[in-house]
Amino acid sequence: MKKIKAYKILEHDYTCRGFKYEIGKTYRLEDEKGKLIEPQLCFQGFHACAKIEQCFKYYPPVEWNILVEVELSGTIVGDEKDKFCSNIIKIIKEIKFSDVKGACDVNGVCDVNGVCDVHGAYYVHG
């Protein structure tokens, strides 16, 4: 089974669009009979980005959001140019924004412990 390492931003309570995640757990998009549902990009499935900086296209790098490394498997649609969507996701680990300081350039300069210009300006961690 093909597996892809990717990145996802979660809310402060480890939710994304109302779905609750936990580090180390695997989640499957299934119907009521336990059969995997086909993912559809931007419609249904578990979405994640190939690169950390791509996440900031969808969510600001503010201190109350949580960046996680994930593993996608099952049926995977999309590509590394924007985002992936799958019917199986495993939440591998949390990544501190301080660990990626200065690691991205998204429509400007991104320094997640200082000032970030991602479709506007966000002030994070002082």
Note whether 75 and 40 are within 8 A (CB): no
This prediction's pTM: 0.79
In this prediction, the residues of the chain whose per-residue pLDDT falls under 70 are 101-126
Q: What is the predicted pLDDT for the residue at 103?
A: 55
Q: What is the predicted pLDDT for the residue at 86?
A: 98
d(CA 92, CA 6): 10
Residue 23 dihedral angles phi and psi, to the nearest 5°: -60, 135
Q: What is the predicted pLDDT for the residue at 25?
A: 98
| pLDDT over 70, % of the chain | 79
Q: What is the predicted pLDDT for the residue at 7?
A: 97
d(CA 92, CA 70): 5
